[in-house]
Structure 1
Amino acid sequence: MTVLVFGGSSQIGHFLMPRLLAGGEPVLALSRRPRPAQAGVNWLQGALPADVPALPPLSAIISFGPLQGLADWLAQARLSDSPRVIATSSMSAETKRDSSVSAERKISRQLRDGEAALAAACTRHGCAWTVLRPTLVYGAGLDKSLTPIARRAMRTRLFPLPAGHGLRQPVHADDIAQAVMAVLDCPATSGRILPIGGGERLPAGEMFARVRRSLPQATVPVPLPVWLLQMARFALPPLRGPLSRLDSDLIADNGELQRLLGIRPRPFRPEASMWMSST
């Protein structure tokens, strides 16, 4: 049987693919653009939901892309078996549910709608499904949250340090990959949405400070006081949501993750290599 991966070149896919290959099963991976040859991986070119080539019998489908696209494809796909389906959503489904920014409330609603649509499509195929909801993901230099901040600081030699006491729980992409592998062998996770956060909760200000200390070159810290952040919330609409959450806790309860899968994510100990692109 074969494992199909959507998002094999993503930050989680970067760590998952070697783990799948070590398991010995054939791996198919879908990419929008041609990928270099990789031993043990058959790269297909296409995109969800409509542009997916014909597939062999599958033992599992793993996706790190948009949930709705996966659900739409599954709804019309012809599957000869009932493969295990594992997908990632985001804790934003909950943390942005009551955001003061309408665009963020929309994102939360889309995530929850995508989760529901995926569950319905899997049920129609008789597929067991599991959704992982990670917090802020880092570790492969491919994220769009901490990595851009780190790279900008390396270019400018200035590191903004916003005041913020809300707790953060960054999760390493490899810990999510480990969780995916564990789900493949754990029927008890079927039909569940599992939060997954890092192994440490820390204030937002300390999270940024650790990123700064991990950089390979010195940067000048630039503290951003509360009054300045409040002004920025009104002057810079795209930043209104993130700035408004600096004093809110954005965390996940790893209780079910640990009980069912035995996964205990690592604490936040960033290194310089984590901010360099892996592609």
Structure 2
Amino acid sequence: MTVLVFGGSSQIGHFLLPRLLAHGATVTALSRHARTSQTGLRWLQGSLPDALPRELPRPAAIISFGPLGPFAQWLARTDFGSEPPRVIATSSMSAETKRDSAMPAERALAQQLRDGEQALAAACARHGAPWTVLRPTLIYGAGLDKSLSPIARRAWRTRVFPLPAGRGLRQPVHADDIALAVLAALACPASAGRILPIGGGERLTAHEMFARVRNTLPHANLLLPLPSWLLHAGQRFAPAKLRGPLARLDADLIADNGELERLLGVTPRAFRPEAEMWFPVKR
């Protein structure tokens, strides 16, 4: 199988590319930065929707981990001939969890995600291409996320760990489990035309999630508890980009994995982080 991967250097791509090669696929992966090709894996430099190299293959499958809008634009205007590819892309559970946010920017993000999903479905319908969208919860595992990894690295440097209260449930999902879901979707015609939530295999409170991150640090650190009353008061004075996350500490941000497990047979792992997960992987 010939596979084209947009966002191959992403945290999910880090786990997916070796799995595709192990399954005998011939992979062309795109990145904004130059990377070294290897047997079975050809790296090209470019970005969606317009800054793309001319030598793109006609693949049997296309996988995208980047923004849905630009990907859908490129799909809509690309000629795939008589054999449309299988298309798999990632969105985010933020499409639902931020739909009713008090922050206008977050509501706009949720709408943008849903619009991107619809545009992708429309572009695939134009070609007769089967598509599947995965909506992950908070992703971790390769040190490339912008949520847990920065917190861990900051505490690593400062040896101070602010631990917020938070009763809302979280369901962090390992990037490798999303890679496994992508592989399973490629082999599952029944997953076509579906938007599948994917969360981790364990639901825990936000407080416990952060506590487990702290427990991965290899050296002693000063615990700085942040009680609920302080966090609620801080919402009034915090920078705009922090108000949404603070407001959601008592809200459940979870996914129902029922359809994922039924269709794809993928059961994501529990949240058992390790120290090396907080630092960017090296290729």
**TM-score > 0.5 by shorter chain:** yes
- Alignment of structure 1 residues 133-148 onto 2, 5 Å: 133-148=135-150
Q: In structure 2, how many angstroms separate the alpha carbons of the residues matched to 1:124 and 1:32?
A: 28
Match of 1:90 in 2: 92
- Alignment of structure 1 residues 250-261 onto 2, 5 Å: 250-261=253-264
Where does structure 2 lack aligned partners over 5 or more consecutive residues?
Answer: none
How far has the Cα of 1:217 moved from its partner?
1.7
Structure 1 vs Structure 2 CA RMSD:
0.9
Match of 1:59 in 2: 60
TM-score, scaled relative to structure 1? 0.98
SS of the residue aligned with 2:250?
coil
Q: In structure 1, how many angstroms separate the alpha carbons of the residues matched to 2:88 and 2:128?
A: 14
Match of 1:118 in 2: 120
In the alignment, is residue 232 of structure 1 matched against residue 234 of structure 2?
Answer: yes
How far has the Cα of 1:20 moved from its partner?
0.3
In the alignment, is residue 77 of structure 1 matched against residue 84 of structure 2?
Answer: no
Match of 1:164 in 2: 166
SS of the residue aligned with 2:220?
coil
Q: 1:246 aligns with which of 249, 255, 268?
A: 249
How far has the Cα of 1:181 moved from its partner?
0.2
Q: In structure 2, how many angstroms separate the alpha carbons of the residues matched to 1:235 and 1:170?
A: 28
Match of 1:19 in 2: 19
Query: Number of matched residues?
Result: 279
Letter matched to residue 251 of structure 1 = I
Q: In structure 1, how many angstroms separate the alpha carbons of the residues matched to 2:123 and 2:260?
A: 24
Match of 2:47 in 1: 47
Letter matched to residue 17 of structure 1 = L
| Identity fraction in percent | 70
In the alignment, is residue 265 of structure 1 matched against residue 273 of structure 2?
Answer: no
Match of 2:219 in 1: 217
Q: In structure 2, how many angstroms separate the alpha carbons of the residues matched to 1:251 and 1:62?
A: 24
The answer as to whether partners of 2:4 and 2:57 remain within 8 angstroms in 1 is: no
How far has the Cα of 1:277 moved from its partner?
1.1
How far has the Cα of 1:194 moved from its partner?
0.1
In the alignment, is residue 275 of structure 1 matched against residue 278 of structure 2?
Answer: yes
How far has the Cα of 1:216 moved from its partner?
1.8
Letter matched to residue 12 of structure 1 = I
How far has the Cα of 1:31 moved from its partner?
1.1
The answer as to whether partners of 1:232 and 1:239 remain within 8 angstroms in 2 is: no
How far has the Cα of 1:37 moved from its partner?
2.8
Runs of at least 4 residues of structure 1 off by over 3 A? none
How far has the Cα of 1:192 moved from its partner?
0.2
How far has the Cα of 1:53 moved from its partner?
2.4
Where does structure 1 lack aligned partners over 5 or more consecutive residues?
Answer: none
How far has the Cα of 1:16 moved from its partner?
0.1
Of 236-245 and 176-185, deviating more is 236-245
Q: In structure 2, how many angstroms separate the alpha carbons of the residues matched to 1:176 and 1:52?
A: 26
The answer as to whether partners of 1:157 and 1:220 remain within 8 angstroms in 2 is: yes
Letter matched to residue 125 of structure 2 = T
Q: In structure 1, how many angstroms separate the alpha carbons of the residues matched to 2:266 and 2:37?
A: 32
The answer as to whether partners of 1:58 and 1:83 remain within 8 angstroms in 2 is: yes
CA shift digits 1:1-52 (9 cap, x unpaired): 4100001100000000000001112100111111123332111111100122
